[in-house]
Each structure stands twice: as C-alpha cells, then as structure tokens.
Structure 1
C-alpha cells in the first residue's frame, strides 16, 4: 500500500483551461476553436513547461501568425485567467491527509515562470513537502526520468507513492514504473480512492 501522495496540479488541485481566458479574448466560438486548435495549441505550449520562456515561445508563434499577435500574447500576459479556482474535494483530501501525517509532494508539468503564482492559488499547496516542476528540471511527464527524479529527491520507491494525475498518458507511464495511481477524472472519486488504500 502507498504511504505518500504525489499530486499533479492542473485539473487536480486547481482548474486550468485555456478556454476560460479565450472565451473573453475571442467571443466567437468558431473563431476561438480554430485559434486553439491551429495556433495556440497544447503542443505549442509544451516547451514552456520544459523551460522555454513564455516570451520566446509567443514571439516565435506571433512571427508565424502575425494576424493573431494580440491573442497569442494573451497566453503569456493573461495566463492566470486560464484558472478558475481550486477543486474543493482535492483541497479537503489534502487537509485530511495532512492531519493524518501522510507525506505529500507535487509533480507538475509547469513553467518555471508560473510556478510561484500557481502555488499561491490554494493553501493546499502549502501542505506539500516538496515539488518537482518540469520547467525547472528540463524534463516533463510522461518521461520516466521525471518520475525517477521524484523518487530520488523525496527518497521513496515508486511503490511508496499514490500518484494522482488527470492525464491518462502520465498515469500509464507511472504505472509502468511501479507507482500506484489514481486517474483523476471526477473529484467525487478521490476520497473513496484514498479510503480504499487506508490513507484517510
């Protein structure tokens, strides 16, 4: 049975969706879908989670799509508007685990430029004893190297962790390395998953 938690951040502890911002930036839904599917894509954003600055990434994309320059730069300058608050069920679980003395850590694909502002979005982040952030390490989930880094840094074996993430790819990668996992798709499923493992 696991004895520690390893938490993803986005859509596990706090809600993140670029559409939350771009519903304000691009009111027309067809134009907005086209922009997010063809211009500011998640694949394009990926390098910022691996250490490339927002300014570098936005500049390169704006050079390719000058007609969307303002919308592209909103990704950088209005980043925090992509968030819509903390997930109450996860906050409650983190507090319950803390009360029981269960060690808790973070593993997130996140830019080094947005790490501090994200950690300020919920007091639950203050319960984490350590964080591995891809933007600081230059490696991202689902690369096995970042999971090995967590084990080394937090001095635990893969089987010691329950890893909670909303990405099926990341969950599969962790399972292959021997982590216990919970695929976070419905906040209501979190507490039962923790109870089954005797963590709360």
Structure 2
C-alpha cells in the first residue's frame, strides 16, 4: 500500500515540553519536585485538561485535594509556557522537508485547548499543517482512545493503511497499529528520517 499521509504527535516529537523546566528552579530540590510531579500534579491530572477539562477547573479540583500544595498547583498552568522549552530541531527539520513533497501532513495531539494556541502562535512550523490538526482538548477525546483517530480519518477522508503515525508514547503507538496505521515510535535516539525511509517515505 502506498503511503500518502504522515501524522505527527507534537509533544516529544516536535515539541520539548516538560514541567521540570519550570519546577527545577521553583523547588531547587529535585526530590521534592519529583514527589510533587508524581503525587500532586501527576500525569493523570494533567491528562484531564488535555481531554478538555478547563485549566481553572482542573486547578481547583487539585487544590481542594491538596490544599497544602495550593501555591505549587496554581504555579503549574501559570508557568506552562516555561515548560514548553523549545521545538525538537532535528524532527522539525524533517517536517519542513516533507512540506515540499506530495505527502499530506497532519497533527494528532493530546493538548489542552487553552494552551495549544500559544504553541501555534510562537512556532511557525505548525503552519505547515495548514490547519489539519486534531487537538484532544477540542474534541474531548484523548489518545489512546481509538475514537480520536477516527475523528482524524473521517474529517480528512484518509485511510489508516495509507498513513504513517508518529508518536513518543508506546500506548498510542500500539493502538495506532491495531487501527491499521504504520507507526514510528520516537525516542530521544530516533533518527526520524531513517525511520521514515525504512517505511518507503521519500524525502
């Protein structure tokens, strides 16, 4: 089957986001920082904002649960832009190269509807997608729920078996495989151009 579409996750693939970029200086104590991120402002909590819960509601819920951490919890989204450190240049370079090919390019991201506009405004490479981006917070669906892939497929009238899906999360990769996508699991060591070439993508 000929590859026609290349679908990018953003965080960990094109964008380097990590709450530690802010909280390292905030706490100046790695042990305390890790405790906070694993037990108070944990991934499971942040994911609900990516699923569509408002930042203010998510913050208030956690403050009620952990009132002694109120200052730190409120600091999370107040300083979210510091956590978005930069793009991942080697992968963005591949995206820019793909712009000049016949492949259709899409984004499928777990991202809060409230914070995603900041990335759109501050990183020009997002314009390469020409608006063909499915954001979990807008859809109120989140990977690895298969429904969010179906939103992408149906909205843009594309087929999984003609598409490569690129993500840094192994659960998302496994789900995409079951849905018929070719996949690339990105790690810090991944050479994305080589991986795409291995699937027959010509850049």
Q: Please give the range of the TM-score, normalised by the shorter of the 2 chains.
A: over 0.9
* RMSD (Å) for aligned C-alpha atoms: 1.2
Structure 1 residue 187, shift from structure 2 partner: 5.5
Structure 2 residue ranges without an equivalent (≥5): none
Change (3 A) 1:199 1:120: farther
Contact 1:140 1:146 in 2 (8 A): yes
TM-score, structure 2 as length reference: 0.94
Counterpart for residue 83 of structure 1: 84
Contact 1:162 1:179 in 2 (8 A): yes
Counterpart for residue 179 of structure 1: 181
1:141 to 140, 143, 147: 143
Counterpart for residue 152 of structure 1: 154
Structure 1 residue 199, shift from structure 2 partner: 3.0
1:193 to 188, 195, 203: 195
Q: Deviations over 1:27-60 (max 9, x none)?
A: 1111111111110000011110111111101111
Output the CA distance in 2 between the equivalents of 1:11 and 1:131. Answer: 16
Structure 1 residue ranges without an equivalent (≥5): none
Ranges of 4+ aligned residues in structure 1 off by more than 6 Å? none
Change (3 A) 1:186 1:2: farther
Contact 1:90 1:187 in 2 (8 A): no
Contact 1:85 1:121 in 2 (8 A): no
Counterpart for residue 109 of structure 2: 108
Counterpart for residue 68 of structure 1: 69
Report the number of matched residues. 200
Output the CA distance in 2 between the equivalents of 1:5 and 1:14. Answer: 17
Query: Partner of 1:120: helix, strand, or coil?
Result: helix
TM-score, structure 1 as length reference: 0.96
